[in-house]
Structure 1
Amino acid sequence: MEAIPFTLYSRVWCHLCEDMLAALKALEQPGRPFAITVLDVDADPALEARFDELVPVLYGDPDGEELCHYFLDREKVEAYIAAQIAEA
């Protein structure tokens, strides 16, 4: 199976960002690998303007719908994973 894509908009020294990344990685299982791209919003003025204090923000497809912010929404992320598996 191809890796399930995620994009996490984050910033350095953000404990909520670290917590969300850890919670997301905990959902990964054999047979459903994740490809997690972590983007530092402070490294890009456009991202900083877009997300500012909203981080962490998790997307599946960076051009798609926001899955959650601040804390991992396990139900919504599991639904996204199921949809990705069904499309494969």
Structure 2
Amino acid sequence: MKFTLYSRSYCHLCQDMLDALLALQTPERPFTVDVIDVDADPALVARFDELVPVLFAALDEPELCHYFLDEGKVRAVLTSPA
């Protein structure tokens, strides 16, 4: 399982979401998180700008959440069959 977190380096909400997400990881439910700095790409700034942090489980599906971690949605993804 891999999550993608669109973030900013100076964003405390982004760090809070990453910390909350990582707290859900267990040996039985391992996952990775790609943290992408939106400020590194003008197209990402145009798309996400003030929405960060934005979390995706799959980039071809709608976002799971933004601003704050939706623990229920993340747990549902983690427990769904692959």
Give TM-score scaled by structure 2 length.
Answer: 0.96
Q: Which amino acid aligns with 1:29?
A: T
Distance 1:28 1:54 in 2: 24
- Give unpaired runs (5+ residues) of structure 1: none
- Give unpaired runs (5+ residues) of structure 2: none
Higher helix share: 1
Deviations 1:52-82 (A, max 9, x none): 1000000001221200000000001111111
Give TM-score scaled by structure 1 length.
Answer: 0.89
The CA RMSD over aligned residues, in Å, is 0.7
Q: How many residues align?
A: 82
Identity of aligned residues (%): 63
Q: Which amino acid aligns with 1:21?
A: L
Residue 12 (structure 2) pairs with residue 11 (structure 1): no
